[in-house]
Amino acid sequence: METKIYKIEPNVPENKVLEETSKIIRSGGIVAFPTETVYGLGADATDPTAAKKIYSAKGRPSDNPLIVHISDMDMLRSVTTGDLTRAKILAEKFWPGPLTLILNKSEVIPFETTGGLSTVAVRMPERIFARLLIQESGLPIAAPSANTSGRPSPTTASHVIEDFNGRIDAIVDDGPSTIGIESTILDLTGESPVILRQGFIERADIEKALGIEIKEDPTLSPEDRPKAPGMKYRHYAPRCDLYIVRNTDDWEARARALIAGHIEKKEVVAFISCEESRDAALNAKFYSLGHRGDYKAIMQNLYAVLRKLDADDIKVAYCEDFSMTEHGEAIAERLLKASGNKVV
């Protein structure tokens, strides 16, 4: 199939592009579009056949549900059932934006979209093109990140083209995603809210908005804690062997020693870290995530760097650990999964 690629000025949605892409959505096709977090692979969330097309294009297991994107609060009501008190408080504060809420689904959303679950993940994206596309289509749009299953998520249209050119109807290029990692996912279907995936919106932000503490359930082992079904799969992963260098006091010296070991054996090795640690790379290929402390830049650069490892045919890479860094939890979560939990 020929994939139509529309290039538009960032945040200046062209009417003709909106008209054509919304027509594709309404007729059951797939359009990759920008959101502020990552690019999404969008289709009509109310159409079981369209949802199936997304799974097959992505190569995604069918038990891994999709996020439904909405443009207004009436749409939230139509895709859900049950009490929306907490959802409305959070929507007031964080929507449009990078927060996804798990709620009970209504009959409007088929089980094909939710991977068989009776709950639905809903988010109102901030990126103007995304919201206008939903509005113009007049439909909620189901959209997972627009990467083939397992690969790092796409933060530019060229990442989407790498994975999907010739396999979907259209790709809208509206410039890079500004946040760079996927939305925070909060489950509101139980007695207490549970964070299923970390993101730009943090636990403390949600606790403040709701005026309650969000605890991990201490009776559950880490393996049994509820998670978004998708989190059990290897994710965000470059093709190389990626190791996370645990954040101890001497982490930089250990990284240096590990890298030196490869250099001695004349092996190509990569080091992913912040500008300030460039020296520890020795003769390794250095990939900078940005300045230490600038967590917004680090989030924005993360997936592009992971994809660059593949493009550069890197076989082994070491990466700084952000688990103890302020605002670093969401970044650390992605890196841990990308490495297949290889921490050294």
Write out the residues near ligand TXA by the rule CB under 6 A. Answer: 35, 37-38, 40, 64-67, 98, 100, 102, 114, 117, 119-121, 123, 143-145, 182-183, 185, 196, 228-231
- Residue nearer to ligand TXA on the CB measure, 124 or 244: 124
Q: Min. distance of Cβ 131 from ligand TXA in angstroms?
A: 12
Nearer to Mg ion, 73 or 229 (CB): 229
Separation CA 164–CA 148 (nearest Å): 8
CB of 334 to Mg ion, least distance (A): 10
229 binds, among Mg ion, ligand TXA, none (CB under 5 to 8 A by kind): ligand TXA
For residue 155, state whether it binds Mg ion (rule: CB under 5 A): no
Return the residue nearest ligand TXA (CB atom): 230
Q: Which stretch binds Mg ion (CB under 5 A): 15-23, 141-149, 172-180, 271-279?
A: 141-149
Least distance between ligand TXA and beta carbon 5 (Å): 18
Shortest distance in whole angstroms from residue 321 CB to ligand TXA: 22
Determine, following the binding rule CB under 5 A, whether residue 145 of this chain makes contact with Mg ion.
Answer: yes
Residue span binding Mg ion (CB under 5 A) among the ranges 129-137, 138-146, 272-280, 286-294: 138-146
Least distance CB 294 / ligand TXA (angstroms): 21
For residue 250, the minimal CB distance to ligand TXA (Å) is 35
Burial 221-257 (b: 16+ CB within 10 A, else e): eeeeeebbbbeeeebbbbebebbbbeeeeebbebbbe
Gap between the Cα atoms of 42 and 127, Å rounded: 14
The stretch near Mg ion (CB under 5 A) out of 13-21, 114-122, 125-133, 139-147 is 139-147
100 lies in the binding site for Mg ion (CB under 5 A): no
Residue 54 beta carbon to ligand TXA: minimum distance, rounded to whole angstroms: 9
Please return the burial class of 75, using the count of CB atoms within 10 Å of its CB with bins 0-12, 13-18 and 19+.
buried
Q: Does 339 bind Mg ion (CB under 5 A)?
A: no
The b-or-e profile of 176-190 (16+ CB within 10 A means b, else e) is bbbbbbbbbbbbbbe
What is the token pair recorded at 174? Answer: 């509206």
Provide the 10 A C-beta neighbour count for residue 315.
13
Pick 128 or 260: Cβ nearer ligand TXA = 128
35: contact with Mg ion by CB under 5 A? no
- The C-alpha angle with vertex 49 and arms to 45 and 54, in degrees rounded to 5, equals 70
The residue count for binding Mg ion (CB under 5 A) is 1
Q: Give residues in contact with Mg ion (CB under 5 A).
A: 145
